[in-house]
Amino acid sequence: MFSSERLKGIDVFVSVADLGSFTAAAERLNLSSSAVSKSVARLEGRLGVRLFQRTIRRLSLTEAGETFYRTCIAVLTDLEEVELALTSEHLKPQGRVRIDLPASYGRLHVLPLILDFVKQHPGLHPHVSFSDRFVDPAQEGIDIVVRIGGSDAWAANLGHRFFGAQRLIFCASPSYLRAHGTPQSAQDLQHHQCVGYGQNDGLVGPWFFKGRQAGDMERRVMSAHIAVGDGEGEVMAALAGLGIAQLPTWLTQRHLDAGTLVEVLPQLATDGLPMNLVWLKSRENLPKVHALLEYLSARLEPSGSAR
């Protein structure tokens, strides 16, 4: 039989975890620091585990605390959605929605769409994060994810929509080409300065070339004159005349249009990684998630330009 005792202290625990401080949580909840501390202690006693690691300088969740926190957030979010669904305005996108975007593409092309959407729906409160790592939406409580690259077999609890593949081109600044000439073949690249992608392991990421068979892709590691571990940084290096770079059109098109970058070896342009809009199926029918998914689905393009 369900006991209301299980709900006691959850709101206090979540506030402390969110703010990382008993004092800050007390201020938010209009309680004393002593009351907050005692509430967390009672909750730990009832569960039989420590939820926080306490030091003089820092308060952090234990492994058990992180597990309990994710469950509490899911329960509180579900309660929020039920309340919204019972109101007369339940069809309006409102409430908190978590979104994770790839760093450069997200800042340049997805965040502006989200900001426009929020202007139209001020009751919506997005929490937007940026990362290029693998993200498990269910594990991390994220509603919508945009990803460059990804699995060919998505998890059963995820919905996804492929909206295109990156178009990779070779480009350089006019000043570099005046000084070093324009390559005419892939072999010519061996004699040019290259701007490469610097990986966290200290290695340089490969460039992609069409394979001998249709649809095949070859990877070649080039000797980099400079390696930069960020796409926008690679663009800056190319603009500075430091070499030829292989970059996606969503990152370079405005510079190509302005003439500050020039495409070279157009016959070697190729499709790169797939681009996907991904979401938790369990939340796709919530007005705030559904409406934002529809908005993004109609506008996301691999080139970065909205439809």
Q: 91-164+273-297 — its CATH code?
A: 3.40.190.10
Q: What pLDDT score does 88 carry? A: 43
Q: What pLDDT score does 6 carry? A: 66
Please report, for residues 38, 211, 213, the alpha-carbon distance to residue 268 in angstroms, rounded to integers and kept in the order given: 66, 11, 14
Q: Which residue stretches of the chain have pLDDT < 70? A: 1-6, 81-90, 151-153, 211-215, 305-307
**Candidate CATH numbers 3.20.20.140, 3.30.1330.60, 3.40.190.10, 3.40.50.720; the one for domain 166-270:** 3.40.190.10
Q: Where are the domains of the chain?
A: 4-85, 91-164+273-297, 166-270
- Topology adopted by domain 4-85: Arc Repressor Mutant, subunit A (1.10.10)
In degrees, rounded to 5, the angle at the alpha carbon of residue 53 between the alpha carbons of residues 22 and 79 is 60
pTM for the model: 0.70
User: Are 288 and 94 contacting, i.e. CB atoms less than 8 angstroms apart?
Assistant: yes
Report the distance separating Cα 18 and Cα 135, nearest Å.
Answer: 20
Report the distance separating Cα 125 and Cα 35, nearest Å.
Answer: 30
Buried b (16+ CB within 10 A) or exposed e, 266-305: eebbbbbebbbbbbbebbeebbbbebbbebbeebbebebe
Render pLDDT for 215-237 as a digit per residue (tens, 0 to 9).
678 889 888 999 999 999 999 99
Helix (H, G, I), strand (E, B) or coil at 169: strand
Helix H or strand E encompassing 297: helix 287-297
CB burial of residue 40 (10 Å; 0-12, 13-18, 19+): buried
- The three-state DSSP-derived secondary structure of 37-49 is HHHHHHHHHHHCC
- Could you check whether 91-164+273-297 and 166-270 share the same CATH topology? yes
